[in-house]
Chain A
Amino acid sequence: MDDRVILRVGAKILIPFILIFALYVQFHGDYGPGGGFQAGVIFAAAFVLYALVFGLGNAIKVLPPKAAYFCGAFGVLLFVGVGYASMALGGEFLNYSVLAHDPTHGQHYGIIGVELGVLITVFGVMVALFYAFAGRRRLDR
């Protein structure tokens, strides 16, 4: 798409804002609508846009399928890890209150950690799905 200057410039301008907006949705999720799932989808949408405009080959250079695959599994680990941390500190599974000195801060850290896990997994899986459909090739090659 070398001749579509408007598309390419437009996408280049948009992509950073999409990524920032994803992070806004992520961190806003504590006390308002939003959260990890939506943020992950938006974050992945930036990569999908990049792949659509600049081609799958370039997108794979930016984010190899293996990395997307890794993200998909790592987010779950992070989520469950927060739960294990709260159990190690003497609370129930995912009881964030024990994560910091006072419960309010604990809840705050806990929810951020968990939502970050959701973001990473959803992002990884969305991009992996896109690669799978767009490239029709095996993820792990």
Chain B
Amino acid sequence: MSQNLPALLVVVPLLLAPLAALSGRAKIAWGIATAACWWTLYAAISLLLRVQESGVIRYSLGGWEPPYGIEYRIDLASAFVALIVAAIGAVTIPYAGTSIAKEVSEDRAPLFYTAWILMLAGLLGIAITGDVFNVFVFLEISSLSAYSMIALGQDRRALTSTFQYLIMGSVGATFIVIGIGLMYVMTGTLNMVDLAERLPMVESNRTIPVAFTFLTVGITLKLALFPLHLWLPNAYTYAPSAVTAFMASTSTKVSVYLLLRFFFTIFGEVFSFEQMRLNMVLMPLALIAILAISLVAIYEVNVKRMLAFSSVAQIGYMVLGISFGTVLGVTAGIIHLFNHALMKGALFMAMGCVMYRIGSVQLDKMAGLGKAMPWTMAAFVGAGLSLIGVPLTVGFVSKWYLVQAALAEGQWFVAGVVMVGSLMALIYIWKVVEVAYFQEPDPDHEIIEAPLSMLIPTWVLVIASFWFGIDATTTATVATQAAETLLGAMP
């Protein structure tokens, strides 16, 4: 089994998905989804350990030798991203069991869990594949399942926001496949390593910069970089709570990984940053995302929507790190990938608990929740501190690396923007804290604490966000090594 582990990471969920669809009962389907999520966590951990021990793992699907066949190629960056996805999946699925039972009707739940498993399989597939067309296929698997899960939100506006996401997401996917097609026309190969070798030979042809542009726009649409983020706030706001937590922590992260993979492994940083001057595009957009979208978040009164806008701003931090094009910057981006998954997962899960009890996440409905739901709101504050970047939380670690990367380049202005962004996060988190802790609750409604099955997963992420904030050695080491691999500093 062990030599097939790379394939099994993806195909065990793929086997379990139709079984969940056929199960016909919400509870059984949930059990199958739990098995899928925990299996992938086990597989992702053992793959990461194996990569750290013995280097890149290559696996030829169907026994066809690469570059002719499809290859799974797992290096440190891909194993790390796969671990993030699998870990968030494993934490959110117990939470989903309770939350989805309330938000999605019993007869639709089996299909919901099928979509959940397929999304997991798709995201993991993107992380570990070494074939660019395979990337597109997995991207579509994960996006289509995401659309259908968002559409199952309670609010009818979930349907329009899904449609918006469907159109935008399909435009993004089309751009990506056009880019891949152009590269294929010029080089005749789809294998990433092979592409990296052949692209320099045809670089002078105008087709390659065009392919590069299509891919950049397509992927930045998928990862919701300003100004291509318009699909994200609505989709996150109206999706079922568990889906928001799962998606916010995984799908944009995988797209950021894709950006890294295309810019550094396939095109190479010389072409991306010196010839195409990518940083001239990415850096201003990332800075605007941090400032402008944080400002939008401050004025938002629906907390889920506020957090969704905050996600767009946080993606700005990741892209900012990448836009330096240095090992330090990419390290900061990768660390923030992991850290943001922890804190935003916890925040959205806390809001899911609120949704579960009071059926709304409007700010004015949350008065006095600090007393009524102490554990939920404490989790919100804990993860919120991380979002602000208070020392001893993961948020601080991310910002520390980001500011270091900016200062190493002598970009004082950029470092200043990161600080201002943190202050703005303080304002919008404080708004929630003020309403929840300093306003009197509505005496007509008796509100009780969320069930344990939802609180425990939330707190797992909150504690993890402190744990990795106090001892960042593990994440920092892996992220640095991953960045070095991507930038080719390490053989």
In the complex, chain B residues 28-75 whose Cβ is within 8 Å of any chain A Cβ:
59-63
Q: Roughly how many angstroms separate A14 CA and B17 CA in the complex, as a whole number?
A: 36
Known: A87-B7, A140-B107. A77 touches B63 (CB 8 A): no
Bound complex: CA A76 to CA B62 (Å)? 17
Q: Does A94 contact B (CB under 8 A)?
A: yes
Chain B residues, CB < 8 A from A26: none
In the complex where A70-B22, A92-B61, A95-B63 touch, is A76 in contact with B4 (Cβ < 8 A)?
Answer: no
Q: Mark A93-105, 1 if CB is under 8 A from B, else 0.
A: 1111100000000
Whether B464 is near chain A, meaning CB under 8 Å from some CB there, is: no
A83 to B12, alpha carbons, bound, how many Å?
A: 11
Roughly how many angstroms separate A112 CA and B373 CA in the complex, as a whole number? 57
CB neighbors of A among B403-444 (8 A):
none
B62 to A77, Cβ gap below 8 A? no
> For residue A84, which residues in chain B have a CB less than 8 angstroms away from its CB?
11, 15
Q: Are A96 and B18 in contact (CB under 8 A)?
A: no
The residues of A that contact B14 with a CB separation of less than 8 Å are: 76, 80
Q: Are B21 and A95 in contact (CB under 8 A)?
A: no
Given contacts A87-B4, A87-B7, A138-B107, contact A92 B18 (CB under 8 A): no
A80→B22 CA distance, assembly (Å):
15
Q: Does B19 contact A (CB under 8 A)?
A: yes
A97 touches B63 (CB 8 A): yes
How long is the Cα–Cα vector from A81 to B14 in the complex, in angstroms? 10
Known contacts A83-B11, A87-B7; A76/B59 CB under 8 A:
no
Who on chain B is nearest to A98 by CB? B63
Q: Tally inter-chain residue pairs, CB-CB below 8 A.
A: 52
Count of A interface residues, CB-CB < 8 Å: 22
Contact, CB under 8 Å: A93 / B15: no
A124: min CB distance to chain B, Å: 11
Closest to A103 in B: B63
In the bound complex, do residue B18 and residue A91 qualify as a contact, i.e. CB atoms below 8 Å apart?
Answer: no
- A93:B22 contact, CB within 8 angstroms: no
**B18 pairs with A93, CB closer than 8 A:** no
Report Cα–Cα, A81/B11, bound state, in Å.
Answer: 10
| A76 engages B107 (CB within 8 Å) | no
Q: How far is the CB of B182 from chain A (nearest CB, A)?
A: 25
Render A52-74 as a binary contact track against B, CB cut-off 8 A, 1 for contact: 00000000000000000110111
B19 touches A77 (CB 8 A): yes
Contact check, B107 vs A73: say whether CB atoms are below 8 A apart: no
Give every chain B residue within 8 A of A77 (Cβ-Cβ). Answer: 15, 18-19
By beta carbon, the residue of chain A nearest B24 is A140
The interface residues of chain B lying within 8 Å CB-to-CB of A70 are 22
CB distance from A109 to the nearest CB of B (A): 14
Shortest CB-to-CB span from A104 to chain B, Å, is: 14
Bound complex: CA A100 to CA B225 (Å): 50
Shortest Cβ distance from A51 into chain B, in angstroms?
23
**Contacts of B7 on A, CB cut-off 8 Å?**
83, 87, 92-93
With contacts A80-B14, A92-B63, A93-B11 known, is A72 near B107, CB below 8 A? no
Partner of B22, one of A73, A87, A138, A141: A73
Chain A, range 118-141, C-beta contacts under 8 Å to B:
138, 140-141
Which one of B15, B59, B114 has the highest number of Cβ atoms from chain A below 10 Å of its Cβ?
B15
Q: Are A76 and B63 within 8 A (Cβ)?
A: no
Most buried by A among B8, B24, B63, B114: B63
Q: Are B22 and A92 in contact (CB under 8 A)?
A: no
CB within 8 Å for A92 and B21 given contacts A80-B11, A84-B15: no
What separation, in Å, do the CA atoms of A70 and B21 have in the docked complex?
8
Q: B residues within 8 A CB of A96?
A: 62
Contacts of B21 in A (CB 8 A): 69, 72-73
Using an 8 Å CB-CB cutoff, how does the interface string of B80-114 with A read, 1 for contact, 0 for none? 00000000000000000000000000010000001
Cβ of A81: which chain B residues have Cβ within 8 Å of it? 15
Q: A70-B22, A138-B107, A140-B107 are in contact. Are A92 and B15 (CB under 8 A)?
A: no
Least Cβ–Cβ distance between A93 and chain B, in angstroms: 4
Q: How far is the CB of B15 from chain A (nearest CB, A)?
A: 5
Please state if B17 and A93 are interface contacts (CB–CB under 8 Å): no
Interface string of B1-27 (1 = CB under 8 A from A): 000100110010011011101101000
Of A72, A73, A74, A92, the contact of B4 (CB 8 Å cutoff): A92
What is the distance, in angstroms, from B104's C-beta to the closest C-beta of chain A? 14
| Interchain CB contact under 8 A, B61 and A76 | no
- Name the residue on A nearest B60 (C-beta): A92
Cα distance, A134 to B7, chains bound together (Å):
39
Residues of B in contact with A (beta carbons under 8 Å apart): 4, 7-8, 11, 14-15, 17-19, 21-22, 24, 59-63, 107, 114
With A93-B7, A94-B62 given, can you name 7 additional A-B contacts, CB distance below 8 Å? Answer: A73-B18, A80-B15, A87-B4, A92-B59, A97-B63, A138-B107, A140-B107
23 contacts between A and B (CB under 8 A): A73-B18, A73-B19, A73-B21, A73-B22, A73-B114, A74-B22, A76-B14, A77-B15, A80-B11, A80-B14, A81-B15, A83-B7, A83-B11, A87-B4, A87-B7, A91-B63, A92-B63, A93-B62, A94-B61, A94-B62, A95-B62, A95-B63, A97-B63
